[in-house]
Structure 1
Amino acid sequence: MLTVAQKAIITATVPLLETGGEALTTHFYRILLGEHPEVRPLFNQASQANGEQPRALANGVLMYARHIDRLEALGDLAAQIVNKHVALQVLPEHYPIVGACLLRAIREVLGAEVATDAVIDAWAAAYDELANLLIGAEAAAYDRNASAPGGWRGARPFRVARKEAESDEITSFYLEPVDEQPVLDFEPGQYISLCLQVNGQEVRRNYSLSAAPNGRSYRISIKREPGGVVSNHLHDEVHEGSTLDVFPPSGAFTLAHSERPLVLISGGVGITPTLAMLESALRTARPIRFVHCARSHKVHAFRASIDALAKKHPQLERFYCYEEAPQPRSDAQPHAVGRLDAQTLSQWMPAAKQDVRDVDAYFLGPKPFMRQVKRSLRELGVPEHQVRYEFFGPASALD
C-alpha cells in the first residue's frame, strides 16, 4: 500500500519523467528484452525500432504518476492497457519481471543520487499497486472470455478456410476453429491476436476483425508492410488449410449504441475495423457516412463490397479520396483527389446546426492521417466526446 510520503515522491518525479521518460523506457526495454527472451513475444519489435512502444510506455508511466492520488482520472487508459494485455495473453508471472527491469532502469538512468532507496521503494510500491489492479482486471477478462458462449482461454487453433486478395496490398484471411465449435462473439471494432512461429521465433500480433460477428468464424484483413516480418510471412507462407493459434477478441475501440448519424473515416488498412462497424450499424436506421482514403484505386480494398452495400441501403453514403489521380477513363474514380482536409470532409458530413455537428465519428489510419482528421473534426464542430479513435501512443501526438 502506497504511503502518503511515497505518493509525494512519485509526484515529485513527474518533471523527471516529462524530460527523460522516453530515455528511461528505451533503456527499460533494452534490459527487459535483452535479458528475458521469454517475454519477447509480448512486444512488437517494429514498434520498438520506430520508438512507438517506448513513447507509449513513457506516456502511460507519466499519466500514472500524475494521477497517483486519483487513478479514476486515468479514464480509458487503464482499459486500453488491459485490452492490449488480454489480447497478447499477459499473465501474472510476467509482472515481477517487468517490475524488476523498470526499477533497475530508473536507478541506472536517473543515477543513485536522484534514484535514492526511498525513490526506488516508492516506485516499487506504486508498481505493485498498478500491477495488482491490472492483474485483477485481466483475470476477470480471461474468465469472461472462457465462460462466454463460444469462448476459450489461451490459444485456440483455427484453420485458414479461405484467403482472398482485397487489393494490391491487403489480403483477407477467413478463420474457422479446428474443433468446429462456435466462436466467441465480439464488439465491432475489436481485434484478435495471432501467435505465430516466424523464422524460429514466437511472435504475437493483433489484427482487427474486418467482418461482423457470425458465431462461426472470423475474418482479418492484413496489409503487406514493406519489410514487415510478420505481414510478409502471413501473405507468403500461410495458405488455405494452414493452422493458426488465435487468442480471443479484445479491444476498447468499439461501436457504441447511438441514434446519432454515424461517420466512419479510414485511411489505408485502417478500414478494417470500420467494416465490422458498418455491417453492424446497417442493421439500425441511423444515417451513415463512410469515408475512405487510399493512395490509389490499386490499393483501395473493399470498394466493390462498400458500393454494393450503398446500393442496398439508402441510409449509407460513401465517399472515397485518393492521393493519386486515376486515369481519366478508369472505372475506379474517387470523389476527391489529394489529402483529406476539413473542407472536403465538411462536404461529406451532415450539416452543422449552430456550429455543432451532432454525429458520432470514428476514425483510424496512419498517424499523419489521424492527426489531420482529428484536427478537421474539431474545426467542423464535432463534440470531442463524440469522436473516437484507436491509437498506439500518447494521444497528444495527434494534436
Structure 2
Amino acid sequence: MVRFSNQALFLMLCGAFATAFILSGANIVTRSISPQFGISSVGIASPRVVLDRHRGTDNSDPNGWRKFVVSQKSFETPEVASIVLTPSSGKSTLPFRPGQFLGLRINFGEQAVRRKYSLSRADNGHNYTISVKKEQDGLISGYLHDELSVGQIIDIYTPGGDFTLDFSAANSKPIVMLTAGIGISPIMSMVDEIVRNPIYTDRPVHFIHCARTRKLHPFRTFLRRLHLDRPNFKYYIAYSQDTPLVKHSNRETTDITEEAKGVAPVEAEATEVRYGRLTEQHLRDWLPMDKDAE
C-alpha cells in the first residue's frame, strides 16, 4: 500500500487537475489543427478503441469517420452545451470506457476542422453525449453553441483515450475525483457509470469541483441530487467568485433552466461548500482519511 503526505498528494492532484483541465478545455483556434491531436504523449489521445464483437462498426468512410445526427442539444450553464449524437444509420454506437473522448470533424468551406471532446455520459449503445464550453474566439465551440441545431449531420470518429475509470470489481478503494471548470466533462461519464454499475455501490466517492460561481457550475443539479440520494457520495465545491446562499423562501429549485440562470436551490447543495481557490487545507479536509485511494 502506497501512502503520501498531504502536501505530496496536493501537488499530484493539482497536476492531475491541470491535465484534465487542459485536455478537456482545449478548443481555441490555432493556425494548425495538428497539435490538437498531438497530446498522445501524455497518454490521452491513444488510438486504442475498446471493441465489442456484438457491436460492430458501420463506417462508410475507410478512415473511420461516421455520420451522426444531432438528436438533442441543451445548456448546462450559459457557457456549457451538452450535445447528444445518434448514428444516422440507426445502428448501435461503438462502445467506449468512461473518461474517453470523441473526435468531431466540421467542414467550413473547403477546410475540415477537427476537435476532440470528452464524452460526458456513460456508454449506452444508442448515442454519445459531449459537453462543450464556449471559448472566446473558439471556432468549433462557437459553432456548436450558436449554429449547430437538432437534426444536423456531423462526422464523428471512434472514441479513444487512456484516461478511464477502473472496472475492477475487486477494487474497494475510495474513488477521488478532482475537477475544475469544463474539466468536469470526462469525470461525469465516470460518475454516470458509477451510478449505473452495481460494482461501485459500496465504494466511497469523494467528488471535488472548483468553479467560479454556481451559475457556471455544470451538472450542479445532478450532483446535488446524487449527494443527497447516495450516502457514500461526498460532494465538495470550491467557488472562487461566489458567496454563501441566502434562503428567501421554501421553494426548491431543481430545474436546469433555472439553474443556468443562477437560481439557487434551497436544500443542502453539497457535502460542503467553501469560497476562494482550492487549497491544501481543503484537500486535507475533503480527501479520505486513508490516502490509499484511486
Q: Shorter-normalised TM-score: what interval?
A: 0.7 to 0.9
Counterpart code for 2:55 = P
What displacement does 1:342 show?
1.2
Q: 1:237 aligns with which of 147, 165, 174?
A: 147
The structure with more strand, counted as a fraction of residues:
2
Q: 1:151 aligns with which of 51, 57, 60?
A: 57
Spell out structure 1 runs of 4+ moving beyond 6 A: none
1:383 is aligned to none
1:170 is aligned to 80
Counterpart code for 1:338 = G
The structure with more helix, counted as a fraction of residues:
1
| Residues 295, 149 of structure 1: alpha-carbon distance in 2 compared, 3 angstrom cutoff | same
Alpha-carbon RMSD? 2.8
2:5 is aligned to none
Deviates further, 333-342 or 248-257: 333-342
What displacement does 1:327 show?
6.1
Deviates further, 273-282 or 207-216: 273-282
In structure 2, what is the Cα distance between the partners aligned to 1:78 and 1:266?
Answer: 18
| Residues 325, 281 of structure 1: alpha-carbon distance in 2 compared, 3 angstrom cutoff | same
TM-score normalised by length of structure 1: 0.54
Residues 192 and 248 in structure 1, CA contact (< 8 A), matched pair in contact too: yes
| Residues 199, 300 of structure 1: alpha-carbon distance in 2 compared, 3 angstrom cutoff | farther
Structure 2 counterparts to residues 330-345 of structure 1, below 5 A = 331=264, 335-345=273-283
| Residues 53, 345 of structure 1: alpha-carbon distance in 2 compared, 3 angstrom cutoff | same
Q: Deviations over 1:124-172 (max 9, x none)?
A: xxxxxxxxxxxxxxxxx47x75966143551111111110000010000
Identity of aligned residues (%): 32
2:130 is aligned to 220
2:187 is the counterpart of 1:289: no
Query: Which gives a bigger RCO, structure 1 or 2 (Cα 8 Å, sep 6+)?
Result: 2
| Residues 194, 145 of structure 1: alpha-carbon distance in 2 compared, 3 angstrom cutoff | farther
In structure 2, what is the Cα distance between the partners aligned to 1:232 and 1:169?
Answer: 10
Structure 2 counterparts to residues 73-222 of structure 1, below 5 A = 77=41, 80=44, 83=46, 86=47, 141=48, 149-153=55-59, 154-198=64-108, 200-222=110-132
Count of residue correspondences: 235
In structure 1, what is the Cα distance between the partners aligned to 2:207 and 2:83?
Answer: 23
Q: Deviations over 1:192-237 (max 9, x none)?
A: 1011113542111101010011111110000000110110011111
2:287 is the counterpart of 1:349: yes
Residues 185 and 215 in structure 1, CA contact (< 8 A), matched pair in contact too: yes
Q: Deviations over 1:224-283 (max 9, x none)?
A: 001101100111110111111111110010112332100111000000111111122233
In structure 2, what is the Cα distance between the partners aligned to 1:146 and 1:255?
Answer: 18
TM-score normalised by length of structure 2: 0.72
Q: Deviations over 1:326-360 (max 9, x none)?
A: 364273667011111111121111114xxxx1111
2:182 is aligned to 269
| Residues 77, 225 of structure 1: alpha-carbon distance in 2 compared, 3 angstrom cutoff | closer
In structure 2, what is the Cα distance between the partners aligned to 1:186 and 1:268?
Answer: 23
| Residues 156, 146 of structure 1: alpha-carbon distance in 2 compared, 3 angstrom cutoff | farther
